[in-house]
């Protein structure tokens, strides 16, 4: 079903802002961001014009994976404050017309969650089957190399199974060993999760971003067995075939919809993080008639610069690959379903350093990248600091990193002798998740105005020139360009609902497309180059077209069926196709 002006959900014209709480704003001087800090910055969000704030996990947690290991789903971690603090933040955002989305992490819990504490206490505990427990391989002794129930590797390096010495069985953890996977085959698990979700909705939140939600259904044999995956590195196998988009996934999501969202669906936002999902998968997830999700995060476009050695072995980006991927998702969800649009989040390096130029053309490339993304069909997501043009951290030593994925990668690579220290540092500097997790740069003062204490992770030294105070004072800044982009989505229906048509698919440096709704057409051009680029424009576009948005004071001139774009230039034009 294609959305029209009359029936389009509210989130088609919305922009979502992601807050990674520990790095947003510290309100008590302990060096870690918190909810009292968020209260200090709600007017920044209102000025930006966003419609939704999505909070990365605030729940009680041992913080093994920065809060994605949850020990109590119905409490706030003292690191961030209290439930009452959260209520105050929600009320402050609601007062400014901003909805609140919580991160929902239910593929796994912390190993310190009471459910898992019970589950591991004995093999006959009533909650034993709430998690994935298996004995060692037949004929092998627990703890013996290769005795794990399957050969699956975890996302954080090493086997995906951890031996519990007390019971002599292994539990599954697709991520850290302190993040055991919940067994969604057990209906008691699902009902406990649904009850928790209803509790949060009753408390006033407006939806959920569902962490790795397409991993909740595992491929289980009739005898309860889990199968080895194809070997990828050493003796470890790929867990994907046994865990991605499992056979009961859509059943579980529809059941969740019926149990949790019935009767209050229209006001909520439901987005799923779905690593490995295809366009065809996304159509199923987001078709409104199926009652599952509103949109999903695709990962294809943020894997295009991964080299043969994986994400920490990046290779130069080929813009033609990005255009092909984005065009396929736009076309695939044009008539049914919806896209999530993002460059940055807490798991990705800063886009201006990754796909742009974080030196001489930082402002131009940051605003061009934003323009190209936001003018696609879908709901844009802005990650904290993206609206300021924040860059990668440019750390100079491995001991500056804090992220578990990066640290486990370094440990694993050292053990295998696959990379030199310089190569490890280069890989993390380009692609490490900590690039997104350095504190938001509010001003030029020590610690960037983030904290009066010692920050939990180093502040980017460029905060002296790249910060919210400087951005707000400059009408040409990245910040004000984001404001104009968000306002355009709110005021021009073609941005939200217009058909998408890719232009120049084989051009190596220029990204171009049109958006068309009724008699309004937008032409969007973005140069991914530090050199001038001259390209043809479609028939009917000339100097009479209205300039809607650009990142240079004087727009590039159209003439003779062509336009010459300056370094990292973005241009949005509008015309009427009839009347």
Is 156 within a domain? no
Nearest one of 158, 431, 155 to 302, comparing CA atoms: 431
Q: Are 357 and 568 in contact (CB under 8 A)?
A: yes
**Mean pLDDT across the stretch 244-272?**
93
Domain boundary residue, one of 431, 452, 482: 482
pLDDT at residue 413, rounded to an integer:
80
Is 475 within a domain? yes
Statement to judge: residues 513 and 470 lie in one domain: no
**Mean pLDDT across the stretch 443-459?**
97
pLDDT at 81 over 80: yes
Domain boundary residue, one of 451, 482, 513: 482
At 23, is the secondary structure helix, strand, or coil?
A: helix
Q: Which of 273, 364, 403, 492 is catalytic?
A: 273
**Mean pLDDT across the stretch 111-127?**
98
Query: Which ranges of 333-385 would DSSP assign to H, the alpha helix?
Result: 351-354, 362-374
Q: Report d(CA 358, CA 350) in Å as an integer.
A: 9
Task: Give me the chain's average pLDDT, please.
Answer: 95
Domain count, the chain: 2
pLDDT at 322 over 70: yes
**Mean pLDDT across the stretch 467-475?**
98
How far, CA to CA in Å, does 287 sit from each of 204, 254, 293, 495?
26, 12, 8, 20
pLDDT at residue 503, rounded to an integer:
98
pLDDT at residue 134, rounded to an integer:
97
**Mean pLDDT across the stretch 30-59?**
98
pLDDT at residue 73, rounded to an integer:
98
**Mean pLDDT across the stretch 407-412?**
82
Is 462 within a domain? yes
pLDDT at residue 559, rounded to an integer:
82
pLDDT at 265 over 80: no
pLDDT at 1 over 70: no
pLDDT at residue 572, rounded to an integer:
97
Any idea what the CATH number is for the domain that residue 549 is in? Answer: 2.60.40.1180
pLDDT at 158 over 80: yes
Statement to judge: residues 299 and 415 lie in one domain: yes
**Mean pLDDT across the stretch 215-240?**
90
pLDDT at residue 406, rounded to an integer:
85
Q: Report d(CA 406, CA 412) in Å as an integer.
A: 10
* 117 vs 308, higher pLDDT: 117
**Mean pLDDT across the stretch 326-347?**
95
Statement to judge: residues 548 and 439 lie in one domain: no
Q: Report d(CA 96, CA 49) in Å as an integer.
A: 10
Q: Which of 59-67's residues contact partners 24+ apart within 8 Å by CB, and which partners?
A: 59/105, 61/110, 62/110, 62/112, 62/178, 64/110, 64/176, 64/178, 64/179, 64/404, 65/175, 65/176, 65/178, 65/179, 65/404, 66/22, 66/403, 66/404, 66/437, 67/21, 67/22
Statement to judge: residues 477 and 510 lie in one domain: no
Statement to judge: residues 447 and 387 lie in one domain: yes
Residues 6+ away with beta carbon under 8 Å from 66: 22, 56, 57, 403, 404, 437
Structure tokens at 68: 């994605």
pLDDT at residue 578, rounded to an integer:
75
pLDDT at 232 over 90: no
Confidence of residue 233 (pLDDT cuts 50, 70, 90): low
* 262 vs 362, higher pLDDT: 362
Tokens 């729940």 correspond to 59
Statement to judge: residues 455 and 403 lie in one domain: yes
Statement to judge: residues 195 and 282 lie in one domain: yes
At 415, is the secondary structure helix, strand, or coil?
A: helix
Statement to judge: residues 257 and 361 lie in one domain: yes
Any idea what the CATH number is for the domain that residue 382 is in? Answer: 3.20.20.80
pLDDT at residue 397, rounded to an integer:
86
Q: Which of 34, 69, 103, 211 is catalytic?
A: 211
Is 208 within a domain? yes
Confidence of residue 525 (pLDDT cuts 50, 70, 90): very high
Confidence of residue 235 (pLDDT cuts 50, 70, 90): confident
Statement to judge: residues 364 and 243 lie in one domain: yes
User: What secondary structure letter does DSSP report for 130?
Assistant: G
pLDDT at 371 over 60: yes
Is 15 within a domain? yes
> How would DSSP label each residue in 528-566?
-SSS-EEEE--TT-STTSEEEEESSSSPPPEETTEEEEP
pLDDT at 444 over 80: yes
pLDDT at 365 over 60: yes
Confidence of residue 422 (pLDDT cuts 50, 70, 90): confident
Whether 273 is catalytic is: yes
Tokens 């995956």 correspond to 229
Statement to judge: residues 448 and 557 lie in one domain: no
Q: Report d(CA 510, CA 557) in Å as an integer.
A: 16
Domain boundary residue, one of 427, 451, 482: 482
Residues 6+ away with beta carbon under 8 Å from 426: none
Statement to judge: residues 427 and 371 lie in one domain: yes
Statement to judge: residues 289 and 395 lie in one domain: yes
Is 274 within a domain? yes
Domain extent for 523: 498-576
Q: What is the pTM of this model?
A: 0.94
Is 527 within a domain? yes
**Mean pLDDT across the stretch 464-490?**
98
Tokens 């486990």 correspond to 408
Is 427 within a domain? yes
Whether 223 is catalytic is: no
């Amino acid at each position: 079903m294609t959305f029209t002006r009359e029936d389009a959900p509210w989130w088609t014209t919305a922009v979502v802002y992601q807050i990674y709480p520990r790095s947003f704003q510290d309100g008590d001087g302990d060096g870690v961001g918190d909810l009292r800090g968020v209260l200090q910055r709600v007017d920044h969000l209102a000025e930006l014009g966003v419609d939704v704030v999505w909070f990365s996990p605030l729940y009680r947690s041992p913080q093994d994976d920065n809060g994605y290991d949850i020990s109590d789903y119905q409490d706030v971690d003292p690191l961030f404050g209290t439930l009452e603090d959260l209520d105050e933040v929600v009320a402050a955002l609601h007062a400014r017309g901003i909805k609140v989305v919580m991160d929902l992490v239910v593929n796994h819990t912390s190993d310190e969650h009471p459910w898992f504490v019970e589950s591991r206490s004995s093999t006959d505990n009533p909650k034993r089957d709430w998690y994935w427990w298996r004995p060692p391989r037949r004929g092998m002794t627990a703890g013996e190399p290769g005795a794990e129930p399957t050969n699956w590797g975890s996302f954080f390096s090493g086997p995906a199974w951890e031996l519990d010495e007390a019971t002599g069985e292994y539990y599954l953890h697709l991520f850290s060993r302190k993040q055991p996977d919940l067994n969604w085959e057990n209906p008691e698990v699902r009902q406990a999760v649904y009850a928790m979700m209803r509790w949060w909705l009753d408390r006033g939140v407006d939806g959920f971003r569902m962490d790795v939600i397409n991993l909740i259904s595992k491929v289980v044999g009739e005898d309860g067995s889990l199968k080895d995956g194809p070997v990828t590195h050493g003796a470890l196998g790929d867990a994907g075939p046994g865990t991605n988009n499992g056979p009961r996934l859509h059943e579980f999501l529809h059941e969740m919809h019926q149990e949790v969202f019935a009767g209050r669906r229209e006001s909520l936002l439901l987005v799923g993080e779905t690593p490995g999902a295809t366009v065809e998968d996304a159509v199923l997830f987001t078709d409104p008639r199926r009652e599952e999700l509103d949109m999903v995060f695709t990962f294809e476009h943020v894997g295009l610069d991964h080299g043969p050695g994986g994400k920490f072995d990046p290779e130069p980006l080929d813009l033609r690959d990005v255009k092909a991927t984005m065009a396929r998702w736009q076309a695939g969800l044009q008539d049914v379903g919806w896209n999530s649009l993002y460059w940055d989040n807490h798991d990705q390096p800063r886009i201006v350093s990754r796909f742009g130029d974080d030196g001489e053309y930082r402002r131009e490339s940051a605003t061009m990248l934003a323009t190209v993304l936001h003018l696609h069909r879908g709901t844009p997501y802005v990650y904290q600091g993206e609206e300021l043009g924040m860059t990668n951290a440019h750390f100079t030593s491995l001991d500056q990193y804090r992220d578990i994925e990066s640290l486990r990668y370094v440990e694993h690579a050292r053990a295998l002798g696959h990379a030199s220290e310089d190569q490890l540092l280069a890989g993390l500097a380009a692609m490490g998740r900590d690039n997104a997790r350095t504190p938001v740069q509010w001003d030029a003062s020590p610690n960037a105005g983030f904290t009066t204490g010692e920050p939990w992770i180093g502040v980017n030294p460029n905060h002296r020139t790249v910060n919210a105070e400087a951005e707000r004072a400059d009408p040409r800044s990245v910040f004000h360009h984001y404001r104009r982009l968000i306002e355009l989505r709110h005021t021009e229906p073609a941005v939200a609902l217009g058909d998408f048509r890719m232009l120049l698919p084989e051009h190596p440096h220029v990204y171009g497309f049109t958006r068309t709704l009724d008699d309004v057409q937008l032409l969007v051009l973005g140069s991914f180059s530090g050199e001038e680029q001259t390209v043809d424009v479609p028939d009917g576009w000339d100097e009479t077209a209205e300039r809607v948005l650009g990142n240079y004071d004087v727009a590039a001139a159209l003439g003779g069926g062509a336009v010459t774009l300056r370094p990292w230039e973005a241009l949005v034009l509008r015309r009427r196709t009839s009347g």
